[in-house]
A and B are shown apart, each in its own frame.
Chain A
Amino acid sequence: MNVTLKILRYNPEKDEKGHYETYSVEAEPTDRLLDLLEEIKGHQDGTLTFRRSCAHGVCGSDAMRINGSNKLACQVLIKNVGAKITIEPLLGLKVVKDLIVDMEPFFDNYKKVLPHLINESALPADGKERIQSQKERARFDDTTKCIMCAACTTSCPSFWGNDDFLGPAALVSAHRFVFDSRDEGASERLEVLSETFGVARCHTAFNCTSACPRDIKITQAIGELKMAMVTGKLD
């Protein structure tokens, strides 16, 4: 089938502002959108610029706006988006070139939530693993799946509007540790969240949850963090 892609282009070395360019590509319905971008880059326009690596939705490189919603280009099959596709860079982060946005502020927010296990207690004397029940492990399973593609954070109206809001992805990472039974840093982390308006700015628009390519229940996770801040309890 023939597919028309309308892509928002911007090259800071040449363009004052962004403009759309249109490409036409022959494709199989089962092709990934990423395959088509590669085809365009390979045969029509080498200057088209985007990030990608794994090509199957696990590395988080190629989040972009596809027909208006945030998705990974490698996870979108042509048969599911039709023959006319509009592609734009993520919103809320500075566009560096074409579909590449500046990820630094995003990763900076991630770093703020102390994303590492905090546990100063002695390790088991036999040197083996800490014991964690299956139920305790299941408690935070969902938020371990995050690949930091930024699809959620850049779909969030509160993030677009506020420089001091950490955004859903950072909160997902906070959740992953706060609810890990082995972690002892919950209060430190929750403090960061209250100082940075971490959770308060979330108005449960649910955009993040529908944008997540890993189907993480983000709004729920943020809700659980809010609850923990209010009650001081983790369950």
Chain B
Amino acid sequence: MDNVHQFEVIVVGAGGAGLMAGLYASKIAKTAVISKLYPTRSHTGAAQGGISAALGNYEEDNPDWHVYDTVKGSDYLGDQDAIEFMCHEAIQAVYELEHMGLPFDRTPEGRIAQRPFGGHTNNKTGKAVRRACHAADRTGHMILQTLYQQCLKNKVNFYDEFQVLDILIEDGKTVGVVGVELATGELHTFHAKSVIIATGGHGRVWEITSNAYAYTGDGAAIVSRHGIPLEDMEFFQFHPTGIYKMGILITEGVRGEGGVLLNNEGTRFMETYAPTVKDLASRDVVSRAMYLEMRAGRGIDGNRYCYLDVTPATVNKYAEIDGRTNPDGSPYVVTGEQILSKIPDIVDFSRTYLGVDPITQPMPVQPTAHYAMGGIPTNKSGEVVIDDKNTVFPGLFAAGEAACVSVHGANRLGTNSLLDIVVFGKHAGIRAAEFAQGADYVALPADPTDFSRQQVDRLKNGSGKENAFDIGKEMKAVMFDEVGVYRTEEGIQKAVEKLTELQERFKGVKVQDTGKIFNTELLNTWELGNLLDMAEITAAAALNRKESRGGHARDDYPERDDKNWLKHSLAWKKDGKIKLGYKPVVLTKFKPKKRVY
């Protein structure tokens, strides 16, 4: 067979999770990392605000507080054993990044600088605590660069611009993956003992999103086609501050530096919704507050946006009202220059895309689809678990946004994803390599590329009656309107029906480009198929969950219902139908209680 490669461990994805997995796995086993983008183009590079760890570089902090904040942020749906593990590993993980060379900003003493972020608190006082370790407002860029550099240094094998289309599974065992080399259009088979899926999220399902074009849920869709369930897919995070109409993210770090949200009356409305931490409440809470303001006619000019104001006058005014102080106890006062130095990229984005200078004017913002809490179910070691008893699927691993450990539960705290990818990427890499060392290669099937070819041929040979771009647009619109920040039975039902129609119409799509070299049309269309699957599963799970929790807010079931719904959902897609099941949440120290910020 042509184009067959053999590696003990294959990592699919070269973002933070994939690179960390590749780095650690390759210390133990023969490993390769496959990525549809050049590694440095991965979406981890877009992350702005920071990575959390209770270093306490400015003031008292404690990993146990980080644990509690994460549990509370998750609206009690996160598995507490995994959360404890992550928050305690956080400190060493951040120091490790520094040792690798990551250029964190520094405190006056030369230690790693930290800033406040939504939901990070001193558990004794309830006040915001500086836990987000940052490198300006491009922390993700620095993480991605640093990890890629370490991989180069350690001679990790890369297959850049190879897009994986299928995973090979024989008799319940992992055998490898099949991918297409973009430059030639050739299919390649990667024979492996362990496969780690680290393909990121699927925010491109929604119209307004902070997510890259590449965020199409490939990994989750691929495994789902092989009968593996996806967990908690109804939980998708809408970040409160996306640039109006474009969705480009304005980090929570802006509010961490003192920025506030204002309605059309110039009122800082978060005071009403979260009296203690106000603008730094959890993301789900802030996004809902913005929707309620807009519904009540208090959006700016009657439109569906609010203002995010980080001009020094506003920052200083509210810092004084809040009694905010510097670490040395002096009152918190900022200048335009200081704002610029803390959030240079945000200032740039705003100037470029809005024509607004945030040092002198407020920025128009609206909630934007941001982060997949749900994904491929795994345990703490990154092993994929396929049922309510957490049965491990041999040789299959997942990490990063594609996975659901679950440490984010119903709502992720800002900065916990960069932490997640570093911690669980590492452990998935180690475990996958250990597994590979103790396992034999399972023989490849006779025709490993068969299913990949079928998928591609279908897109080449459709009737051509339908346009893929329009199908995508219609999907994004209905998902944003009906399966967005607020949801109702009627609305989700409408989305479900629409998605059934779109899936049917998708069969009538035919790509124009018949070439082999960089046939991006073909691959974008294949990705649309993944997005449709992600949308369908999300809508089905959202329709099913009759309560409000974290990122899943139902107008018709406004309360959290622990009696009936303190459980993870699992969704299988088979023969075009979605089957739902459940699995228990792991509770250790913290009993669910009402969530107030």
Contacts and interface: CB of A to CB of B under 8 A. Distances in A.
Contacts of A132: 106, 110
Contacts of B511: 46
B112 A127 contact: no
Given A115-B149, A115-B152, A129-B111, A11 B515 contact: yes
Contacts of A41: 469, 521, 524
Contact of A127 (B95, B517, B521): B95
A105 interface: no
Nearest to A11: B515
Contacts of A42: 467-470, 472
A125 interface: no
A107 interface: yes
Contacts of A145: 138, 141
Contacts of A61: 37-38, 41
Interface stretch (A95-103, A153-161, A201-209, A224-232): A95-103
- In this complex, the member of B100, B104, B348, B518 whose beta carbon has the largest number of chain A beta carbons within 10 angstroms is B518
A13 B516 contact: yes
Interface in A134-187: 134, 136-137, 140-141, 144-145, 147-148, 177, 180, 182-183
Given A13-B517, A100-B518, A54 B352 contact: no
A148 B109 CA distance: 32
A58 interface: yes
B98 to A, nearest CB: 4
Interface string A1-45: 000000000011110000000000000001010000010011101
B106 A133 contact: yes
B95 A53 contact: no
B43 interface: yes
B interface residue count range (under 10 / 10 to 19 / 20 to 34 / 35 or more) = 35 or more
A95 B353 CA distance: 30
B95 A46 contact: no
B95 A129 contact: yes
B142 interface: yes
Interface string B98-114: 11110111111111100
B43 A148 contact: no
B338 to A, nearest CB: 13
B557 interface: no
A144 B142 contact: yes
Contacts of A144: 103, 135, 138, 142, 145
A109 B150 CA distance: 17
Given A145-B138, A147-B40, A137 B105 contact: yes
B590 interface: no
A56 B43 CA distance: 11
Interface residues of A, number: 60
Contact of A131 (B111, B348, B515, B519): B111
B106 A55 contact: no
Nearest to A80: B352
A119 B102 CA distance: 13
B155 to A, nearest CB: 11
B99 A96 contact: no
Contacts of A111: 152
Given A103-B38, A132-B106, A140-B103, A54 B521 contact: no
Interface string A78-113: 000000000000000000110010010001000100
Contacts of B108: 134
Contact of B41 (A50, A59, A180): A59
Given A115-B149, A116-B101, A148-B40, A96 B518 contact: yes
A217 interface: no
Given A117-B100, A182-B101, A60 B95 contact: no
Contacts of B183: 96
B335 interface: no
A49 B520 contact: yes
B248 interface: yes
A123 to B, nearest CB: 6
A53 B150 contact: no
Interface in B13-46: 37-38, 40-43, 45-46
A46 B106 contact: no
Interface in B95-134: 95, 98-101, 103-112
Interface of B: 37-38, 40-43, 45-46, 92, 95, 98-101, 103-112, 135-136, 138, 141-142, 145, 149-150, 152-153, 183, 212-214, 246, 248, 345, 348-349, 352-353, 467-470, 472, 511-513, 515-521, 524
5 contacts: A55-B212, A59-B43, A132-B106, A137-B103, A141-B103
